[in-house]
Amino acid sequence: MKVEEVVLPGVGRKFTIEVQSGDRLVVVVHNSGKRELQYYEKGEDDEPTAALDLTDEEARELGAILAGVLFHPEAVGDTQSKLGAQVFEWIPIPPGSPWVGRRVGELPLPPGAHLLALDRPGAPLIPNPPPEALLEAGDTLVLAGSREAIEAFKRGLGKG
């Protein structure tokens, strides 16, 4: 898979993803949060075969589905060995934590640690929570990454 990123001044960013078959998916992420998806079959450069506009919330939900946050297919072959070096961890935000009331964007995520979702009691799962989301007592952070990165995150979280 080949991914190219281009800055679109005043608009946002454009990501062109070429998959093994030669087909391309173009994703335009607007500064407003809107996403445009365009699908081009191999050899087609003029008009996309299909196009779709997504809101920020729809794009985050789709990203969570593609990332396997909502459903984990059985890993096989090379995928299984790559996943072997990675961990998933659910980290609670207890009452009294210095992180209660702070924004997700303030979390001390080290390189190699990725926040996949925010699980809030009594509410739907928040996949790929936006940086401005406020943390609440009882929230659970769903992270993925190397064991070292996740442990570094937990140490940084404890420092508040």
pLDDT tens sequence across 3-25: 888 999 999 999 898 988 999 99
The Cα 27–Cα 44 span in angstroms is 16
Contacts of residue 39, defined as CB under 8 A and 6 or more positions apart, other chains included, come to 23, 24, 25, 26, 48, 49, 50, 51
- Tokens 């969570």 locate to 64
pLDDT by residue (tens digit) across 82-104? 455 677 888 899 998 889 999 99
Strands 126-127 and 50-54, by their bridges, are unpaired
**DSSP alpha helices (H): ranges in the chain?**
56-67, 77-84, 147-159
